[in-house]
Amino acid sequence: MAQQMIKGSCLCGQASFQIDMSFQAFKYCHCSRCRKATGSAHASNIFVLPEHFRWISGEKNITRYDVPEAMSFATCFCKICGSPMPHETRSGEQIVVPAGSIDDDPGQHPENNIFWKSRASWYLEPDEITKYDAY
Ligand SMILES: [Zn+2]
Ligand SMILES: [Zn+2]
């Protein structure tokens, strides 16, 4: 059976990639490193096997940063627009894909929040605050 593929890309569009829909996991991570790396309340990460990921374009513009004191924390980003991009874990066992970079509907939802105890002191769950359809 053919695997279903979905596409992702960075803000400037130079970097793009394809992943197989068979995710290993989909999580929100509230750790302080993910907050720094994303500039947001939490990371939204999809985990796939390396054989289920491939670059389509712009791989040469991707920069990797490994946090020296971390066991495995790393981030990759487009050096033109700064968007977080997929990176291989140091073990090489998985690819961590920032869900916000996905262009298609992955048809799946996050399963859980990890490092919940480390969440930002200012964080509120979406249901706790007013929602507007635009600005
Ligand atoms: Zn870019
Ligand atoms: Zn994290």
Which CATH code of 2.170.150.70, 3.40.50.2000, 1.20.120.790, 3.40.50.280 fits the domain covering 5-128?
Answer: 2.170.150.70
* Ligand 2 center from residue 34 Cα (angstroms): 4
Say how far apart CA 110 and CA 120 lie, in whole Å.
19
* Ligand 2 center from residue 32 Cα (angstroms): 7
Ligand located closest to 76 CA: 1
Ligand located closest to 16 CA: 1
- Tokens found for residue 102: 């996905």
* Ligand 2 center from residue 2 Cα (angstroms): 32
Residuewise pLDDT in 10s, the chain (135 residues): 456 899 999 999 999 999 999 999 999 999 999 999 999 999 999 999 999 999 999 999 999 999 999 999 999 999 999 999 999 999 999 999 999 999 999 999 999 999 999 999 999 999 999 999 999
Beta-sheet strand order (sheet of 74-78): 62-66, 74-78, 84-85
User: Do residues 41 and 81 make contact, with C-beta atoms less than 8 angstroms apart?
Assistant: no
> Which pLDDT score is estimated for 4?
87
Ligand located closest to 41 CA: 2
For the chain, what are the domain ranges? Answer: 5-128
Task: Report the run of H or E that residue 33 belongs to, with start and end.
Answer: helix 32-38
> Which pLDDT score is estimated for 3?
64
Say how far apart CA 86 and CA 102 lie, in whole Å.
10
Which amino acid belongs to residue 121?
Answer: S
Buried b (16+ CB within 10 A) or exposed e, 42-68: bbbbbbbeeebbeeeebeebbeeeeee
> Which pLDDT score is estimated for 1?
47
The residues placing their C-beta within 5 Å of ligand 2, an ion, are: 29, 31, 34
> Which pLDDT score is estimated for 2?
53
In angstroms, the first-to-last Cα distance of the chain is: 44
Q: How would you classify the pairing of strands 25-29 and 112-114?
A: parallel
* Ligand 2 center from residue 21 Cα (angstroms): 22
